[in-house]
Amino acid sequence: MPTSNIPVITIDGPTASGKGTVAHKVADKLGFHLLDSGALYRLTALQALRRETNLNDEHALAKLAEHLNIHFAGDAIYLSQENVTDAIRAEEVGNTASKIAALPAVRQALYGLQLSFRKTPGLVADGRDMGSVIFPHAQLKVFLTASVEARADRRYKQLIGKGISASMQDLLMDLKARDDRDMNRAIAPLAPAEGAYLLDTSAMNADEATEQVLKWWAAAHK
C-alpha cells in the first residue's frame, strides 16, 4: 500500500490537554501505530541537558535530534537501550523541549523521523502540529484542549501520583508560559489544523474523549 493511502488520525493540543492518553487509547482500539511526537522533542531535550549542550546553539541541537538512537516498545521509550520513559517527563525536560521545539533546524531534523511512523494498518499521531504540518492530509484531525486550570490539576495529580512534589501555582504559571511559547513561535505555532474537530476535555475523562474521537473516525468511514 502506498504510504499516502495509509490512514492517519492526528490529535493535536496544548500541554497536559490529555491528548497523549487519548491517542494511546484510540490507537489501541483501532490497532494502529502510535507517534508521540512530543516524546521526540523531549528525548532531544534530555540528551541536550545530559550533554550540557548550549540551548542557544541551534546547529548543535539539530545534530543531536538527527542522531537520536530511539525506539518505542509499548508504553516504554528507549534512548540508546536505556528506558527513559519517566526521565523525559521531568518538568525541566518538558520546559527545555518547549524551547527547542521553536527552533527551525530542530524541527527539520525530526521531520523525516516523524513521517516514518506512518505504517500499515494506520497511525495515530499526537503533538502540536501533526495535522497542520506533518500530516496535513490526515483522514481525521482533532484539536484537543482544556482550560489551563483543568490541565494544571491533571498534571498535579499525575506528578503527585508518581511521588513527585508539585506546586499548583507553579504548574499554572508553567503551562501558561508554554502555551504562550507554543502559540506564538514563528515555526508551526500551536493552532487547530484546517478541518480539525475541536474537542474541549475540561469536563471529560479520557474514555469519554476517546469515544468521541472514535465516533468521528467511524463517521468518516461510512
For the segment 115-161, what is each residue's pLDDT rounded down to a tens digit? 999 999 999 999 989 999 999 999 999 999 999 999 999 889 988 88
Strand segments, DSSP code E, in the chain are 8-12, 33-36, 70-73, 76-79, 82-83, 123-127, 140-145, 197-200
What are the pLDDT digits (tens) for 34-88?
999 999 999 999 999 999 999 999 999 999 999 998 888 777 899 999 999 999 9
Q: Binding site for ATP: which residues? A: 13-21
Q: What are phi and psi of 165, to 5 degrees?
A: -65, 145
Q: Rounded CA gap, 50 and 12, in Å?
A: 28
pLDDT of 1 strictly over 70:
no
Q: Binding site: which residues? A: 13-21
Q: Rounded CA gap, 64 and 103, in Å?
A: 13
- Span 3-217 CATH architecture: 3-Layer(aba) Sandwich (3.40)
